[in-house]
């Protein structure tokens, strides 16, 4: 019996993370990251080979990953959105945003690097168009995404000699619960069909993980076409 390669996906219970899980499910054994163990159990039962990884990324520790000895793909999809002017944002907004969107990514990656090196695996970070440009009321969210891009750029260079590839995917606005939340903040009507489908981001992840060993998808931008 051929063993499946293993992919750990944070934020796997909804939105982009779930779409990535659905995309990889036919060929990977999935470790489904999230906080709701019961929901993850139900989700895992819908895939050919999957199990929950019920851990809050804010507090992930070495013991949570002790059984993962070899890991082919680590997808960082969990994230939070905080919006507001610099004048109105509080310390908690900054701290929680960086804790989830940056510090947890760095921590989980560091803990899993031995397993990734053993498999010559890949790290894939779901970043954002906000990782390249900021604007009014997006200082904290864009700040985390700029930092995440710096993290993945550095990691890519550091781990190349260890055979670990690193991909940073930068979608524009995606039709998820987070997008609905953003529209509510902006006071705008939300029409999902105007924005990128989560499944399209998942196909970008598939492109990266399927790249043969002599190549690497290092950075990929996806933007709404405005043609829907």
Residue 28 catalytic?
no
Strand, coil or helix: 218:
coil
Cα separation, 189 vs 211, in Å, equals 39
Facing residues of 138 across strands?
84
Cα separation, 170 vs 192, in Å, equals 19
Beta-strand ranges (E) seen in 38-128 are 50-54, 73-76, 122-126
* Cβ atoms 77, 104 nearer than 8 A: no
Cα separation, 208 vs 73, in Å, equals 10
Instruction: Please enumerate in sequence order all residues whose Cβ is within 8 A of that of 106, keeping only pairs 6 or more positions apart, or say none.
Output: 151
DSSP class of 3: P
Which residue out of 28, 132, 141, 190 is catalytically annotated?
Answer: 141
* Cβ atoms 179, 196 nearer than 8 A: no
Cα separation, 63 vs 60, in Å, equals 8
Residue that is written with structure tokens 């700040």 in the block: 143
Catalytically active residues are 141
């Amino acid at each position: 019996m051929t063993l499946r390669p293993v992919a750990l996906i944070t934020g796997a219970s909804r939105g982009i993370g779930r779409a990535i899980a659905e995309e990889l499910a036919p060929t990977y054994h999935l470790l489904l990251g999230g906080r709701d163990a019961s929901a993850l159990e139900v989700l895992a039962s819908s895939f050919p080979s999957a199990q929950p990884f019920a851990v809050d990324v804010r507090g992930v520790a070495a013991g949570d990953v002790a059984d993962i000895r070899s890991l082919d793909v680590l997808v960082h999809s969990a994230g939070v959105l905080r919006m507001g002017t610099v004048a109105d944002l509080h310390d908690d907004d900054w701290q929680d945003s960086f804790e989830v969107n940056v510090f947890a990514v760095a921590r989980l990656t560091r803990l899993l690097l031995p397993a990734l090196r053993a498999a010559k695996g890949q790290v894939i970070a779901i970043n954002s168009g906000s990782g390249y440009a900021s604007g009014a009321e997006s200082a904290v969210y864009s700040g985390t995404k700029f930092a995440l891009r710096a993290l993945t750029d550095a990691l890519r260079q550091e781990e190349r000699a260890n055979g670990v590839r690193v991909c940073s995917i930068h979608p524009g606005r995606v039709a998820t619960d987070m997008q609905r939340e953003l529209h509510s903040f902006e006071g705008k009507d939300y029409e999902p069909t105007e924005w990128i489908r989560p499944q399209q981001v998942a196909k970008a992840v598939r492109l990266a993980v399927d790249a043969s060993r002599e190549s690497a998808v290092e950075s990929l931008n996806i933007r709404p076409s405005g043609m829907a």
